[in-house]
Amino acid sequence: MSKPSCRPFPLDDEFDAVVSTGALVHLPNDTTLLRTFESVHRVLRPGGTFTFDMYTERHAESWVAHTTPTARVIESGPFTLLMSITRTAIKGTYNWHGLMFLRDDTTQAYVRRSETHQLYAWAQEQIVGLGARAGFGDIEVFDNFTRQPTGSQTVCETYVMVKP
């Protein structure tokens, strides 16, 4: 009987770009976010770009306002989502609750699925500081929807970090 093994897969300096959307808001603390930034920095070639988005606390609070005390319904073709976002006891931490119904086009039957995720609203200064600690040089932040500098109305920020 042989024991399975996983050989190291060298990825250092292999990629010109790494893109992440909607994922990093689920990372729970500075250590996890810093390790993620360090890992991305390691796999990028010099001059490589890391682009990602982060929701602001303003965005999360607007969803709390729109989904409390009732859920919000989003319908798109065969997909229906009932969702709500609630605050936790920890500032900047939210619970996203979703109840999804997806229609099977063949049978016309609906499949039901429910999920709960924690979301974290990170301060821009915190993200930029962790990016610099991970070794990124040029770090730009802009409003994801207007492509302009961020401001008080920004709900989603796009970050572009470049490996020197």
Task: Check: pTM over 0.75? Answer yes or no.
Answer: yes
pLDDT in tens, the chain (164 residues): 455 555 555 789 999 999 999 899 999 999 999 999 999 999 999 999 999 999 988 888 888 888 777 777 888 888 788 888 888 888 889 998 888 888 888 888 888 889 888 999 999 999 999 999 999 999 999 999 898 999 888 989 999 999 99
CATH code: domain 23-55+123-162 is 3.40.50.150
CATH code: domain 59-120 is 2.20.25.110
Q: What is the pLDDT of residue 26?
A: 92
The b-or-e profile of 127-157 (16+ CB within 10 A means b, else e) is bbebbeebebeeeebebbeeeeebeeebbbb
Q: What is the pLDDT of residue 104?
A: 82
Q: What is the pLDDT of residue 109?
A: 85
Which residue spans of the chain are classified as CATH 3.40.50.150?
A: 23-55+123-162
Which residue spans of the chain are classified as CATH 2.20.25.110?
A: 59-120
Q: What is the pLDDT of residue 1?
A: 47
Q: What is the pLDDT of residue 27?
A: 93
